[in-house]
C-alpha cells in the first residue's frame, strides 16, 4: 500500500490530507499527517483515512511521498530531522517558496527525488491551482503521482523552475487580490444601499461565474468582456472608469511585486 506522509497540519497541510483521503483513487493509500501540536491534529484524528503522528521521523518511515507543508523557516530543519528515515525511493515535496532544486540537492543529496510545489488556499475547497517542479530523479510514475495528488485539490501542472516565482505571484498570492476586488465590489454595492451579506453573495457569485466562463467557453477574456458591454450601457461605463483609474497596470504591478519578492526569498 503506497504511503503519503504530510508534515504540517496547518491550512495547506490539512487541505492536502483531506483532499487525498476523501478522493476515491487514493483510498487504497495510507495517509499520514504529522504535527508537533496534538491539539491541531484532533480534528483530523476523527477521519478514518488519516493516521496522525506527533513524531515526524515516525511519520515518514517507509513513506513513498513526504510532503513538507511547512513555513520556509522550518523546512531545512525538518529535512535534516527526517533525512535518515527517508528511503532512496521516497519523493520529498516542499510547498515552501524558498527551497530551490539546487538547495534541496545540497541538503538531501543528488540521488533523492525532490519536487517543489506551489499550491494555493482555494485547495481547501477543492478549487486550487498548483504549479509543480521536479528534479531529474523523478520517473514518469512520480510525475503522474504528483499530478494526481495535487489535482485532487483542484488543478495542477508541471512548469519550469524559472516560472515558479511567476506561479507564486499569480496563483499562490493571487487569491488575495481576488478577495480585495471582491470586497471592493461588495463595498460599492453597500454604498448604493445593498445589505452587506447580499453584496458579498452577488460579488462572489459574479466572480465565480466569470471565472467559470473563462475556463469553459474557450473565448479570450477580452471577448467575454466585450460580450457584456452593450453600446452606451452600464458595463462599458464601468470599464471606462476602471481603465481611467489604471486597473490593468495596478494588477500587473501588484503581481510583479509578488514575483520579485518570491525571487528574493528564493535567493536568500
Residue after which a domain boundary falls, among 159, 180, 199? 159
Task: Mark the binding-site residues, compressed into ranges.
Answer: 7-12, 56, 69-72
Question: Which residues in the chain come in under a pLDDT of 50?
Answer: none
Is 154 within 8 Å of 127 (Cβ atoms)?
yes
Verify that 22 and 146 share a domain, yes or no. yes
Verify that 217 and 246 share a domain, yes or no. yes
Verify that 38 and 140 share a domain, yes or no. yes
Residue 147: name the closest of 99, 115, 174 by CA.
115
- Residue 93's H or E segment, with its range, is strand 91-94
Residue 160: name the closest of 188, 131, 129 by CA.
131
Q: What is the pLDDT of residue 256?
A: 98
Verify that 19 and 146 share a domain, yes or no. yes
Verify that 238 and 215 share a domain, yes or no. yes
- pLDDT 10s digits, 131-159: 999 999 999 999 999 999 999 899 999 99
Q: Would you state the cell numbers that stand for residue 153, as one nine-digit string?
A: 485539490
Task: Mark the binding-site residues for NADPH, compressed into ranges.
Answer: 56
Q: What is the pLDDT of residue 233?
A: 97
Residue after which a domain boundary falls, among 159, 179, 196? 159
The residue whose grid cell reads 476523501 is 22
- pLDDT 10s digits, 42-62: 888 887 789 999 999 999 999
DSSP state of 156: E
Residues 164, 147: Cα–Cα separation, whole Å:
16
Q: Would you state the cell numbers that stand for residue 266, as one nine-digit string?
A: 528564493
Q: What is the pLDDT of residue 268?
A: 72
Total domains in the chain come to 2
Verify that 111 and 174 share a domain, yes or no. no
Q: What is the pLDDT of residue 96?
A: 87
Enclosing domain of residue 181: 167-267
Task: Mark the binding-site residues for NADP(+), compressed into ranges.
Answer: 7-12, 69-72
DSSP state of 27: T
Amino acid at each position: 500500500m503506497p504511503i503519503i506522509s504530510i508534515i504540517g497540519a496547518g491550512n495547506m497541510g490539512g487541505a492536502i490530507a483531506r483532499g487525498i483521503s476523501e478522493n476515491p483513487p487514493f483510498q487504497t493509500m495510507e495517509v499520514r499527517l504529522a504535527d508537533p501540536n496534538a491539539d491541531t491534529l484532533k480534528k483530523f484524528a476523527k477521519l478514518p483515512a488519516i493516521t496522525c503522528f506527533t513524531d515526524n521521523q515516525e511519520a515518514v518511515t517507509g513513506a513513498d511521498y513526504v510532503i513538507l507543508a511547512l513555513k520556509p523557516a522550518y523546512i531545512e530543519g525538518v529535512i535534516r530531522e527526517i533525512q535518515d528515515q527517508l528511503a532512496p525511493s521516497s519523493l520529498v515535496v516542499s510547498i515552501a517558496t524558498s527551497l530551490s532544486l539546487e538547495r534541496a540537492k545540497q541538503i538531501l543529496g543528488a540521488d533523492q527525488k525532490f519536487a517543489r510545489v506551489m499550491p494555493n488556499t482555494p485547495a481547501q475547497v477543492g478549487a486550487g491551482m498548483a504549479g509543480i517542479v521536479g528534479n531529474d530523479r523523478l520517473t514518469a510514475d512520480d510525475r503522474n503521482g504528483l499530478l494526481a495528488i495535487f489535482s485532487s485539490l483542484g488543478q495542477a501542472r508541471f512548469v519550469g523552475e524559472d516560472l515558479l516565482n511567476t506561479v507564486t505571484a499569480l496563483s499562490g498570492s493571487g487569491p488575495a487580490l481576488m478577495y480585495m476586488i471582491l470586497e471592493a465590489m461588495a463595498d460599492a454595492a453597500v454604498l448604493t444601499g445593498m445589505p452587506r451579506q447580499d453584496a458579498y453573495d452577488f460579488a462572489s457569485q459574479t466572480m465565480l461565474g466569470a471565472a467559470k466562463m473563462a475556463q469553459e467557453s474557450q473565448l479570450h477574456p477580452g471577448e467575454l468582456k466585450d460580450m457584456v458591454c452593450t453600446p452606451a450601457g452600464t458595463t462599458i461605463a464601468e470599464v471606462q472608469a476602471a481603465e481611467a483609474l489604471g486597473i490593468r497596470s495596478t494588477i500587473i504591478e501588484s503581481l510583479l511585486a509578488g514575483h520579485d519578492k518570491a525571487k528574493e526569498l528564493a535567493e536568500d
